Amino acid sequence: MAAAGGMVPVLPGLYVALRTAGVVAVLTVDAEEPPAVPGVRAMHVRLRDEPGADLLSRLDECAAFLSANPAGEARLCHAGVSRSVAVVAAFLMKTQGLGCEEALAALRAAKPDGEPGFQGQLRLYEAMGCAVDTSSALYKRYRLEIAVLFPGMQNLPREVFAVDPTTLCQTSNTEVLYRCRKCRRALFRSSSILSHTEGIGPTAFAHKRITPTAQLSGNGQEKCTSYFTEPVQWMEPALLGVMEGQLLCPKCTSKLGSFSWRGDQCSCGRWVTPAFQIHKSRVDEVRTLPVGNFQTAKT
């Protein structure tokens, strides 16, 4: 159908606009839900246009809504400035195979006055293959970065915390379990480890006037002497209301490491934000190996 009343076409039947004339489905991304329009199917994503707003987690849902309309039906993203433009960009990436920059360029060409927002989240969406994978390290790191913006760290979303491995009946054969070296209490699984790009080594610590104990690779020592993990449920009492502190074993209270929402430096020199750091010397790896119908644990 032809563009009407300020409607800006992006794809056949898909518009970014300020008015809803001639459309049968409306997707609104705004802090307030608009009035219902008779005969028009609607989806509302409640989201403020501000730092820390999580649009990424809703992109798959938005794309599914836009894709659900039969060919020839007009779909409208209201009001076509920052949030809605970002949603349409994600839709183009997912359905048209465009890269993030290509999708943004197409939208700028169609609607020059629409400033695509949430570009960092769009690039992360592209990095995840245009599908929100809540189990990926990229997504977990993103959720933690969002959590840092919570005032006083008092109201952390529950999904930020990994499940306490003591509450799981069985650990997958593909995962490694990490236990307190002193009391053997299960602490976290290998899927909770958030990898980081290796830093530049001792030269990164020049400002501290110290030489880290972990030296460059090749001399038999590890550069990274700690695991940086997502927060686990047993850590929650220590994390709430404070920006940094120690991480103690919940069973024997031996010191395992430390945390800082502002970030901390790994022994390899890389700065990690936020940082939930467990020293490798304080835990043991337990690998579950299937043997016939039995399983053995190897430490």
Rounded to 10 degrees, the C-alpha dihedral 71/73/78/81 comes to 50
> What are all long-range contacts of 149-157, with beta carbons under 8 Å and residues at least 24 apart?
149/51, 149/52, 152/241, 153/239, 153/240, 153/241, 153/242, 153/243, 153/261, 154/240, 154/241, 156/236, 156/239, 156/240
Can you give the pTM of this predicted structure? Answer: 0.68
Structural domain spans, the chain: 7-132, 158-291
| Percentage with pLDDT > 70 across the chain | 71
pLDDT tens, residue by residue, 203-234: 655 555 444 444 444 454 568 999 999 999 99
Task: Average the pLDDT over each of 99-103, 155-159, 196-200, 275-279 and give the range with the smallest value.
Answer: 155-159
CATH level 3 topology of 7-132: Protein-Tyrosine Phosphatase; Chain A (3.90.190)
Q: Which residues are catalytic?
A: 77
Provide the pLDDT confidence category of residue 8 given band limits of 50, 70 and 90.
low
Query: Which residues lie below 8 Å from residue 15, measured CB to CB, with a gap of 6+?
Result: 3, 7, 8, 9, 23, 74, 75, 76, 77
CATH number attached to the domain at 158-291: 2.170.150
Provide the pLDDT confidence category of residue 189 given band limits of 50, 70 and 90.
very high
